Chain A
Amino acid sequence: MSSIKIRTKRLGDITQIRTLIAHPMETGRNKDEQGKLIPAHFIQELTVKHNDKVISSSVMGAGISKNPYFAFKFIGGKTGDKISISWQDNLGQSDSQDKILK
């Protein structure tokens, strides 16, 4: 199962992209039930593409909430266009997901 859920909506000339990502976004400051520090584990980079063109690229830290949510809007987007969202985290993990606009 992908960690990335994508929802798109057409609002006139504008396409809205919303995404919900399964990720712990651990700050590295929390302790587990045994009292041990849970290592920092958070998304550092998020890229959103429309038909392989980057429409938004973001850097972030653990100040973004767990299971992060983002929304963007761009001018354009028609049926059959591809939206791609990908992330990379501080432990070298990554994931990406595509969605075709209806």
Chain B
Amino acid sequence: MKIRQCLALLMVVFFSAASANPQQDQVLFRQHYQKLFPQLNLNDYADGIYALDAIARESWQTIEEFPPYELAIEQGESLFNTPFKNGNHYSDCLPNNGIAISHLYPQWDKTQGKVITLAYAINQCRQQNNEAPLLYQKGNIAQLLAYIAYTSRGKLIDIKIPDSDHRALAAYEQGKQYYYQRRGQLNFSCSSCHVQNVGKKIRSEMLSPSLGHTSNWPTYRLKWGEIGTLHRRIIGCHKQIRAELPVAQSDALRHLEYFLSFMGNGIPFNGPSTRK
């Protein structure tokens, strides 16, 4: 009895330790897609479903020739350059003056002990400058993100989970567990569609790979008729699987984004983009 318990404990410790290895996770995650889609290289995953669906790709490329999110980039630039009431700018808060930084988020902030997404950083900047926070799903936040994304295009996603702070690893782990956790009336996890059934169709839609899921945000979804954020999309997905809706920029979704982004390290960032 004691030996069995001991073994059980050892196995728990072993697997926890084994799973607390983001690099390993990344390798296994990618291997799954590489086996299914040997024709794709890492860069291709920036195009999402359009790397797999040729008919949809053609339509997407036609629209990308003069994409509807150009209006949002322009508005975002204007918002970005407009000073706060106290005369400060977003560039005063953000690294590199807020230019070409999208590929570096989410980041672990040691001082705050938090995962910081770019959207979260924007609102923290506003808060520090006595401005009201922006809503996290659409509107001004999405336009600001569109402008910053545009300046970041082509940069390789580069998310860090510092060894020196075990809380960062814990946050990554939470994000990973969220990803694999079943939920909702349809009892799907993110992986149910985007790992186990990637490339297959659900009704007439092909399921996209999670590898590269964070590369193209914010996104002008044809369905929305406007630009929206990653968290808006994730919340929408929860609606579809009849699950309780998470809150945009909550710990749960920031950690999920942390996990997903880390999986995509090395993929060229290409926001803002268009999707259906």
Q: A and B bound?
A: yes
B225 contact set on A, CB distance < 8 A = 24, 66-67
Q: How far is the CA of A1 from the CA of B77 in the complex (A)?
A: 12
Question: What is the bound-complex CA distance between A20 and B64, given in angstroms?
Answer: 12
Beta-carbon nearest neighbor of B62 in chain A? A69
Interchain CB contact (< 8 A) of A1 among B63, B65, B75: B75
CB-based nearest B residue for A25:
B225
B68 lies within 8 A of chain A by Cβ? yes
Mask: chain B, 211-236; 1 = CB below 8 Å from A; 0 = not = 00000000000000100000000000
| Interface SS majority for chain B | helix
Partner of A69, one of B66, B74, B75: B66
Q: State how many residues of chain B have any CB contact under 8 Å with chain A.
A: 11
Chain B residue with Cβ nearest A67: B68
Distance in angstroms between the alpha carbons of A25 and B71 in the assembled complex = 15
- The verdict on A5 contacting chain B, using a C-beta distance below 8 Å, is yes
Q: Is A7 among interface residues, defined by CB-CB distance under 8 A?
A: yes
Decide: A18 and B75 in contact? CB cutoff 8 A. no
Count of A interface residues, CB-CB < 8 Å: 12
Asked if B44 is an interface residue, CB under 8 A from chain A, the answer is no
Residues facing A in B68-88 (CB within 8 A) are 68, 70-71, 74-75, 78
Q: Is the CB of A22 within 8 A of B71?
A: yes
The digit string for A59-87, where 1 denotes a CB below 8 A from any CB of B, is 00000001101010000000000000000
- Chain B residue nearest in CB terms to A20: B66
Assess the B70–A69 pair: CB atoms within 8 A: no
Query: B75 contacts which chain A residues (CB < 8 A)?
Result: 1
- A66 CA / B68 CA spacing, docked (Å): 9
Interface residue ranges, B against A (CB under 8 Å)? 63, 65-68, 70-71, 74-75, 78, 225
Question: Can you list 6 pairs linking A and B with CB atoms under 8 Å apart?
Answer: A1-B75, A1-B78, A20-B68, A22-B71, A66-B225, A71-B66
